Chains A and B, each alone.
Chain A
Amino acid sequence: MSSISRRAALGAAVGAAAGLAAAAPALATALTDQPGPVGEPDWELHGAGGGHGHGTGIPGSAGPGPFDEVYEGRRIQGRPTNGGGHHGGGAHGGYTVHIDGRELHLMRNADGTWISVINHYEQLHSPRAAARTAVLELQGAPLVPLVTT
């Protein structure tokens, strides 16, 4: 991804949820988010990419910004897209999330909250919250394209 340099520029990881809360307190307090990584960042144990930046993730009329971080040992990435997703673009709210390079099916609700195929009945306030909640739910398992056999 082209976000390496951007991530490098973003500097040290801070509690992303706290950063988001500072930027948009109304949204951040309205709905559950997962706490940011605690203690020694997991990314140091997964050195290949070396990146540990975090996106601004500031909600607003333009939608959430990109993010790229290692959370609980999984690389989660999100970026705005131009409605190019399957199922007619708008379903995704113009945003794509990947976990270890595999797409997490994402959907934006009318009230601006988000759900994923891993947490489909729980409204989360941002794509990053959806990605982090999915990581916790996956407990290390890989995402797969829909398996039907």
Chain B
Amino acid sequence: MTVRKNQATLTAEEKGRFVAALLELKRTGKYDPFVHTHNEFIMSDTDYGDRVGHRSPSFLPWHRRFLLEFEQALQAVDPDVALPYWDWTADRTPASSLWAPDFLGGTGRSRDGRVLDGPFARSAGGWTIGVRVDGRDFLRRSLGGGGRSLPTRAEVDTVLAMETYDAPPWNSASDGFRNHLEGWRGINLHNRVHVWVGGQMATGVSPNDPVFWLHHAFVDKLWAEWQARHPRSTYLPTGPTRNVVDLNKPMRPWNDVTPADLLDHTRFYTFDTDTDAAPADRTRPAA
């Protein structure tokens, strides 16, 4: 069983294997289709039209399924690799080991935002930005640019305290847990992290930066934490709703999976923090 770990706890070997698997997916052309798919959805999900991947209740199950597919692609390269998560409430500066040259590399230089170190720097030869919306083919970042701050644990807790999963109009104007976690309303968690990283992470082609997966693995973990905290709350809406994926409606682009299929992450993986006290009939795998 896959165990998703906090990136800060990974060994040097685990980091090395994760990076190598990413580079191999990139080399074989299997990485960029994920970027393309994400961009297609982010450009077509609209507040008053069909919306699946973003600004809608299915933001969380859609990304859970998207990350599962990506993790399976990584595991086809190296079966021992799992997606790590980045707890940006804890590792909240560019000095974090996440951004060291042996892992994701650091921020970009001021002149053009180009990342200069680490395995994903353009100069390292293995990471050319293929799916892009402007002329630049090198990975860019501006960590904390403009003096922005990452969300704090206290801010996360205010969002986890929201009992209702989502609410009409089921879009970027909604109240409830999903939209506050996504960040279109209120304290702003997920969206703010994209902006804090900057570079491609702030754009529709954000999966060009490998930190995309670690960010979303943590957003996904926060969904699991919310479920544990509100066992009586459910995914909403539960019945047919115009333009929106209800609990039992198949999601594009897979069309064979519904939010209901994805509510229990332990069918697919566990987190390093999961305990036997977490929701029923779950067995913690041997670490």
Interface residues of chain A, those whose CB is within 8 Å of chain B, are 87-88, 90-91, 105, 107-111, 117-123, 137-139, 141-144, 146-149
Contacts and interface: CB of A to CB of B under 8 A. Distances in A.
Contact of A110 (B132, B171, B190, B192): B171
Interface stretch (B5-13, B118-126, B199-207, B228-236): B199-207
Interface of B: 32, 36, 39, 42-44, 46-49, 55, 111-113, 130-136, 169, 171-173, 183-184, 190-192, 194-195, 202-206
Contacts of A138: 134
Chain B at the A interface: mostly helix, strand, loop or mixed?
A: loop
Contacts of A111: 172-173, 184
B46 A88 contact: yes
A120 B204 contact: yes
A85 B202 CA distance: 23
Given A144-B132, A144-B135, A117 B43 contact: yes
Contacts, number: 95
B172 A143 contact: no
A128 to B, nearest CB: 19
Given A87-B46, A119-B202, A148 B191 contact: no
Contact of B204 (A108, A109, A117, A137): A117
B43 A118 contact: no
B203 A107 contact: no
B131 A105 contact: no
Contacts of B204: 105, 117, 120
Nearest to A143: B134
B130 A147 contact: yes
A80 to B, nearest CB: 17
A91 B49 contact: yes
B133 A122 contact: no
Contacts of B136: 141
Contacts of A144: 132-135
Given A88-B49, A91-B49, A120-B206, A141 B134 contact: yes
A146 B48 contact: no
Contacts of B183: 121
A143 B136 CA distance: 9
A147 B46 contact: no
B114 to A, nearest CB: 10
Please indicate which of the listed interface residues B47, B49, B195, B205 has the most CB atoms of chain A within 10 Å of its own CB. B47
A105 B134 contact: no
Contacts of B55: 109
A142 B137 CA distance: 12
Contact of A139 (B112, B132, B169): B112
Given A107-B43, A118-B202, A121-B206, 12 more contacts: A90-B46, A91-B46, A109-B172, A110-B169, A118-B133, A120-B194, A121-B195, A123-B184, A142-B134, A143-B133, A143-B134, A148-B130
6 contacts: A90-B48, A91-B49, A109-B55, A120-B203, A138-B134, A144-B135
B195 A122 contact: yes
Contacts of A137: 202
B44 to A, nearest CB: 5
Contacts of A90: 46, 48-49
Nearest to A140: B112
B27 to A, nearest CB: 14
